[in-house]
Amino acid sequence: MPVVWQLSARTRADSAMAEWNAYFTAGVPYEALVDLLAAIGTREAPDAGFEGPEKVLKALTAQGWIRDVDRPHTTVTDPGFSASVSLEVLSSLVQDADPRPGLVGWQAWAEPVFGAPYQWCASFSASVPHALVAAFASSLASTVPVSRRTLPECAGGRLRIVRRS
């Protein structure tokens, strides 16, 4: 899936390389992007908030997501097994100011039908503060109903439309 949006943070105006980047494909729930942008906007320093990966995992499990049995310290899945968030070794395409190889960063994706193409994906470079990823993840996992005009075809049977009058 091609990247549609990229967020970058620089802590110094003269820096040629972004301190961190986040990449999003089309289809990422806009509520999660809005909440991520709000979290960025309320931060005093874009490179602060490294509480650790547990902050992201707790944000998701507090909303009913399930820790992976084989990787409970790095991976969680929604109760319907259609979306996951995982701390993984990043592709070389995910840019970061830290040049060391083998860094880990957060990745999120939706795969409503096992084996089908992903509905959307998000990647956060290794230096993205965990607090920002937790804001995105918490919004992603929220059970509060959201407005949609149409549902993705691949999500049939997993989502429902509730009409308000």
Query: Sheet containing 104-110: which strands, arranged edge to edge?
Result: 5-9, 20-24, 120-124, 104-110, 83-89, 75-77, 66-67
Question: Left if phi > 0, otherwise alpha if psi is -120 to 50, otherwise beta: which for 102?
Answer: left
Condensed to tens digits (0 to 9), the pLDDT of residues 65-97 reads 999 999 999 999 999 899 999 999 988 888 888
Three-class secondary structure of residue 51 per DSSP: coil
User: How confident is the model at residue 76, as a pLDDT?
Assistant: 97
- With a pLDDT cut of 90, the percent of the chain lying above it is 44
Q: What is the mean pLDDT of residues 115-125?
A: 89
Amino acid at 98: D
Query: Residue 151 pLDDT more than 60?
Result: no
> What is the average pLDDT across 1-16?
63
CA–CA gap between residue 49 and residue 20 (Å, rounded): 13
Question: With bands split at pLDDT 50, 70 and 90, how would you rate the model's confidence at 32?
Answer: very high
d(CA 3, CA 88): 18
